[in-house]
Chain A
Amino acid sequence: MRKKLVVIGAGMASGRVLEHVLAQDPDGWDITLFNAEPRGNYNRIMLSPVLSGEKTYDEIVTHDDDFYRQHDITCRFGESVVRIDRANKVVLSNDGGAPYDKLLIATGSAPFIIPVPGHDLPGVITYRDMDDTQAMIDASHRPGGTAVVIGGGLLGLEAAAGLTARGMAVTVIHLMGHLMERQLDPAAGYLLQKDLGARGLTVHCKGATKAILGKDRAEAVLLEDGTVYPADLVCMAVGIRPETRIATDAALEIGRGITVDDHMVTSDPDILAVGECVEHDGQLFGLVAPLYDQARVVAATLLGQDAAFRPVQTATKLKVTGVDLFSAGDFADGEGREDIVFRDPARGVYKRLVIEGDRLIGAVMYGDTADGSWFFGLIKDGTDIAAMRDTLIFGPAWQGGTGADPLAAVAALPPEAEICGCNGICKGTITAAIEGGAASLADIRAQTKASASCGTCTGLVEQVLASTLGDAFQMPAAQPVCACTDLTHEDVRRLIKARALKSMAALMQELGWKTSCGCHHCRPALNFYLLADWPLDYTDDAQSRFVNERNHANIQKDGTYSVVPRMWGGMTNPAELRAIADAADKYAIPAVKVTGGQRIDLLGVRKADLPHIWADLNKAGLVSGHAYSKGLRTVKTCVGTDFCRFGTQDSTGLGIKLEKRLWGSWTPHKVKLAVSGCPRNCAESTCKDIGIICVDSGYEVGVGGAAGMDLKETQRLAKVTTEAEAIDLTVAFVQLYREHAKYLDRPYKWLAKVGLDWVQAQIVEDPDNRAALIARFDLSQSVYQRDPWADRATPQAQADFAPLADFTREAAE
């Protein structure tokens, strides 16, 4: 006989209870779920991204119809419970009753409505559920709409930011002296207000609402000081109170919320309560982390296990895109407390740590919150910080060595360090899941719930994945370049152009690099960005290049190099082949191989021999094939009309023209081309970064193919009738890629981010822009199209490739 569980309220806490119960005892309960909202469980803390348009409702649903059906849960959504009949153990709604063995009250909270005149006008709403969110979205559709948000706390600011993102002119009225006074100190509040101001939000602190004005609906808000703000929409976000009406009517014990004991049981042993509606030990709960803890305890109690709820400290982050703030613990001034403060006005960074004795008790961070969870861990664990006090404010990367490895800080976290505050998931749980086979963010979310609620720890979870899986895990795009900065590649590229940063030193100074001269992750990327954007002003820095590009040859696993001469369009002749054969003999080359790009690879050359073999090959007219570069590699061709009976155009000739135009250019990643003379595609154009297929009526230019880790077919950029147009499109595409792509993104990856449509609009449909791109490419080529072999034929260059000193002979004497 299955026991009957009735749940009132489908919120985040009750959803979690159901999961726990069903996971441990899938067949033990006959479950009925009431919800006043006409829908099931969704992620309420993700309403802000829905409001701002960054997510849709479907994306924040935590439990869909399938889930309820699969677990045989009777859903009574849109049905308000009117009464609990404790004597007969029945829950009554207008549509009938539902008997229970155990009842769980999860009615959540209701927003405060300030009882000022006009508070009941249409157009005055609160911000609590999906209906409120939808009402705000609807209101924002009116062009030129104005909104006033009353309340400058967490929820009010998220509402304000969302409405601003939807195009409304928004004013925030806040009663206190600075925003988010419960989470932030005045300095961080000031920075937040400044940032929001820069986004077009008006903030009015110390503002008391006197009345909401309007005839048939809200039109304006009047403050006590006489200020009037026009408002088509007024959103009240001044606070919440536990929704206890049903419990009160049922004569359960009530304080500010429904009173529960450590087992989450109310004054009636068959009735439990969970979430924002409860009061435990005199305390109310609004953030999601303690609610999830409660849910775990509720499930244990229902299943007859012993568990007790113990509230823990929680940290706060604001979910407004582009605003980075974090606060945790107690940060009020007080006797015996000391501050450590760090400010970087240029970057808008403020960090404050509050220390009492040798313990960190509070942290407020604005603008750079990367170390938030580390500080939070120190607060929660009561760690003795005396030994690292001097460098504490600089975060974990400074403790015990250098911060050279961007993942070192995460790698160094102990297994019990908390990664996901919402769900209380520690690093050890995540690494255990990874060892069990989880290999992506989605896997981790599914298996551990980490990063599955508010999502602000996503970056950390990804770092745990990266530090555990190594190269097997591909970090997603929105990551900082490396540990030297918090900026993403996209930010850096934009700022290099916008602020005309033309040297590595200027870039690192102006963008606040955290290290003296970067690291092996950022320097090659920055070197490329600078030389691509400022070909005439920036000087290429060989020391910021990976060994292959610095030595103009591919390093092999034994420290020798490979040498690949260019063969234009895959064409060669007896004189070149003879020179290659002679060089192979002279330098005792151990292996000679034909490459997939239609040329010849000499493998196993010693570094000191490189300038000499290059000089010899140069004499026969051979130049570097750049087989080692993030740049143009080869242009593969078929023989085309010259010899082939199917050929439609001179594919070899076009391939050679393209290679002569593009060689020597540096690009975000390697670029391979091919030209096929007919749709039989013997040059395999359809899996190249740029692939041209000749047809009777012209040239089909495809882009974004790949045949490496990923296999991608090219997408049609355009079809053109003349060879000149095909060359123009190719050059413009390469330049567009050079100017916009993230370093180490192949064209197909970049295309997936910007979209083929955008690229077509830039270079196919806009002839002026195409011409400008081509002109910028040619300007760059005037500087960079140089044969590195010829440049290194000098005695000085040859000496640079040789050892500085040789003591082997001395020793032998």
Chain B
Amino acid sequence: MTWLDIGALDDIPQRGARVVKTVQGCVAVFRTGDDRVFAMDDRCPHRGGPLSEGIVHGHAVTCPLHNWVFSLETGMAQGADEGAVATYPARVEGGRILIDAARLIRGRAA
């Protein structure tokens, strides 16, 4: 696994998100209230809403378009909604955010 440094933890507000652009589309990187980071596709499977713009609560995010709620840990839709978002390994080390590079820049092989 190759870890890519994508920025500082403080570049993302607590209970907020930023996006990382890839050839596969945007990946949303979330920072939760307990300073964990999670990465998943920035696209709600329902109507394509940008999950990075949703309200982050606990380890979950609510899509800003129609209030679908996704677990940041598993990418699974919560409650009665059915759907899933692809997630990517991400971690914090020394105040820097690291994401598994293989998944992020796999467009290179394509």
Using CB atoms and an 8 Å cutoff, list the residues of chain A in contact with chain B.
401-402, 404-405, 407-408, 411-412, 467, 515-520, 523-524, 542-547, 550-551, 555, 557-559, 800, 803-808, 810-812
Contact = CB atoms under 8 A, between A and B. Distances in A.
A551 B19 CA distance: 14
A679 to B, nearest CB: 42
Nearest to B5: A805
Interface residues of B, number: 43
Interface in B51-107: 53-60, 62, 64-65, 67, 69, 71, 78-80, 104-105, 107
Given A401-B78, A543-B14, A524 B55 contact: yes
B108 A543 contact: no
B68 to A, nearest CB: 9
Shortest 8 CB-CB distances between A and B: which pairs?
Answer: A405-B79, A520-B62, A804-B18, A408-B79, A547-B53, A543-B15, A811-B107, A547-B64
Interface of B: 6-7, 11-16, 18-23, 26, 29, 33-34, 47-50, 53-60, 62, 64-65, 67, 69, 71, 78-80, 104-105, 107-108
A544 B48 CA distance: 22
A381 B47 CA distance: 40
A106 B18 CA distance: 69
A559 B49 contact: yes
Contacts of A467: 80
B22 A543 contact: no
A518 B29 contact: no
B21 A544 contact: no
Contacts of B12: 804
Given A405-B80, A411-B80, A559 B22 contact: no
A402 B67 contact: no
B60 A544 contact: no
A547 B55 CA distance: 8
A516 B18 contact: no
A555 B65 CA distance: 8
A627 B32 CA distance: 29
A311 B55 CA distance: 49
A412 B82 CA distance: 13
Given A404-B69, A551-B53, A807 B60 contact: no
15 contacts: A402-B71, A404-B62, A404-B78, A516-B58, A519-B55, A520-B69, A523-B57, A544-B15, A546-B55, A547-B53, A555-B53, A804-B12, A804-B18, A804-B19, A811-B22
B104 A807 contact: yes
A547 B54 contact: yes
A807 B62 contact: no
A558 B29 CA distance: 20
Contact of A402 (B53, B54, B60): B60
Contacts of B21: 803, 805-808
B22 to A, nearest CB: 5
Given A543-B14, A804-B20, A805-B6, A404 B57 contact: yes
A516 B15 CA distance: 12
B13 A543 contact: yes
Nearest to B58: A516
A402 B58 contact: yes
B41 to A, nearest CB: 13
Nearest to A410: B80
Contacts of A411: 79-80
B47 A405 contact: no
A807 B105 contact: yes
B29 A804 contact: yes
A713 B105 CA distance: 58
Contacts of B16: 542-543
A551 B55 CA distance: 12
A811 B105 contact: yes
Contacts of A524: 55
Nearest to B43: A559
A559 B33 contact: no
Given A411-B79, A557-B65, A804-B29, A544 B55 contact: yes
A808 B108 CA distance: 9
B78 to A, nearest CB: 5
Contacts of B13: 542-543
Contact of B23 (A407, A557, A804, A811): A811
A550 B108 CA distance: 35
- Residue among A515, A550, A810, A812 with max Cβ neighbours from chain B (10 Å): A810
Given A404-B78, A811-B107, A811-B108, A804 B6 contact: yes
B23 A519 contact: no
A806 B48 CA distance: 20
Contacts of B18: 800, 803-804
Given A411-B80, A559-B50, A519 B57 contact: yes
A404 B18 CA distance: 22
Contacts of B71: 401-402
A805 B7 contact: yes
A785 to B, nearest CB: 24
B60 to A, nearest CB: 5
Contacts of B22: 807-808, 811
Given A518-B57, A557-B47, A805-B7, 8 more contacts: A404-B79, A405-B80, A516-B58, A555-B53, A804-B19, A805-B20, A807-B21, A808-B23
Given A408-B79, A519-B57, A546 B64 contact: yes
A557 B66 CA distance: 10
A811 B107 CA distance: 6
A543 B48 CA distance: 21
A810 B109 CA distance: 12
B58 A517 contact: yes
B79 A516 contact: no
Given A557-B47, A811-B107, A405 B69 contact: yes
Contacts of B65: 555, 557
Nearest to A555: B64
A804 B11 contact: yes
A271 B59 CA distance: 64
B32 to A, nearest CB: 8
Given A542-B13, A803-B18, A408 B58 contact: no
Given A402-B60, A405-B80, A520 B54 contact: yes
A800 to B, nearest CB: 8
A520 B58 contact: no
Nearest to B99: A805
A544 B54 CA distance: 10
- Residue among B21, B48, B59 with max Cβ neighbours from chain A (10 Å): B21
B72 to A, nearest CB: 11
B78 A408 contact: yes
B91 to A, nearest CB: 15
B80 A806 contact: no
B56 A543 contact: yes
A519 B54 CA distance: 11
A515 B62 CA distance: 15
- Residue among B7, B53, B64, B79 with max Cβ neighbours from chain A (10 Å): B79
Nearest to A560: B50
- Residue among B11, B80, B108 with max Cβ neighbours from chain A (10 Å): B80
B33 A516 contact: yes
Given A547-B64, A555-B53, A806-B20, A402 B78 contact: yes
Contacts of B53: 547, 550-551, 555, 559
Contact of A408 (B26, B80, B104): B80
A404 B20 contact: no
Contacts of A558: 48
B58 A515 contact: yes
Contacts of B33: 516-517
